[in-house]
Structure 1
Amino acid sequence: MDIKQDLARLNALGYRVTRQRRLVLEVIRANPCLQNVDDIFTQCRGRDESISYPTIYRTLDMLVEAGMARRTHFQGKNWYEGVMSSHHHHFVCTECGATVALAVCPLDFLKEDLRAAQFEVHEHQFELLGICKDCQSNQPKGGVLL
């Protein structure tokens, strides 16, 4: 879906499309990595000095509600990404914030167990937190290298 389709979808859902809402959407769509509110604010502020944190928070909430952004919580922060591709999860570096998409959804391997437990999943999140190759040289060993 391109930006024009996203904006039309927001209109169809009854949201007013403002210049600043469009800017936040452009910023999260332009970066394939997870971004926190500070990252998004810095990028938006570089293009529009009048944008504020409350505007960004409200816009991100709206985009998540509209299904155009995903929110993930780790390290005490909310992280966001634009929804442009299929469902996926991440390896996340706890040092630098680098993210790598997982090729498969781990929930696929649990379907039989879930059926046996008669458990119906409505939503899930799965992130592996660790240290990327670039940051490992500065860290003591202690994790599992697979």
Structure 2
Amino acid sequence: MSQTRLQHALTTLKEQGYKHTKKREVMLDYLVRRNRYVTAKEVHHFMNQSFPGVSYDTIYRNLHDFAALNLLEETDLNGEMKFRFHCCLEPGEHHHHHFICTVCGKTKELDLCPMDFFEEQLPGCVIEGHRFEILGRCEDCQ
């Protein structure tokens, strides 16, 4: 499944006019395999092992480009942007939200969407989007 997600991301980059580079491929593969929220610093540290001297700005810019293409989800935890590979990219995957560990960034899917309740409370309004996250400490970080 992770190879499918990686291939989908690389295809999306190409379709949107981005050049396929080994750095982008390695960065996306890292994000797919981590399957949790990570900081740009974590990605930079990882990338610097394979590509010594890669600039932090390059990593950060690519993360934001990937998020703009809807390949990554972003969240602000404790005043720092964190990124994770988007988990609803493949057909058949369902809409869901996340519990996010504020220590390690691990996520757990929540199948319940609170928007059902809010839609009932906002007659006549059109909701164009929403974001719902529960923050706390996972069982490993308590």
Common fold by TM > 0.5: yes
Alignment partner of 2:141: what SS? helix
Could you tell me which residue of structure 2 aligns to residue 143 of structure 1?
none
Calculate the TM-score normalised by the size of structure 1.
Answer: 0.78
Trace 1:20-35 onto structure 2 (pairs within 5 A): 20-35=23-38
Could you tell me which residue of structure 1 aligns to residue 125 of structure 2?
119
Moved more, 95-104 or 50-59: 95-104
Q: Residue 96 and residue 65 in structure 1: after superposition, are their counterparts in 2 closer, same or farther (change >3 A)?
A: closer
Deviation of residue 22 (structure 1)? 1.6
| Structure 2 residue identity aligned to 1:122 | E
2:85 aligned with 1:103: no
Could you tell me which residue of structure 2 aligns to residue 88 of structure 1?
96
Moved more, 9-18 or 94-103: 94-103
Number of aligned positions between the proteins: 134
Could you tell me which residue of structure 2 aligns to residue 139 of structure 1?
none
* Percent sequence identity over aligned pairs: 31
5+ long unaligned stretches in structure 1: 137-146
Alignment partner of 1:134: what SS? coil
Deviation of residue 31 (structure 1)? 1.5
Could you tell me which residue of structure 2 aligns to residue 56 of structure 1?
59
Moved more, 7-16 or 90-99: 90-99
Q: Deviations over 1:24-79 (max 9, x none)?
A: 21111112111111222222222222322111111111111111111111210111
Calculate the TM-score normalised by the size of structure 2.
Answer: 0.80
Moved over 6 A (4+): none
- Mark the structure with the bigger radius of gyration: 1
In structure 2, which of residues 5, 9, 13 is the aligned counterpart of residue 6 of structure 1?
9
| Structure 2 residue identity aligned to 1:75 | N
In structure 2, which of residues 36, 40, 43 is the aligned counterpart of residue 37 of structure 1?
40
Aligned partners of 2:116 and 2:86: how far apart in 1? 20
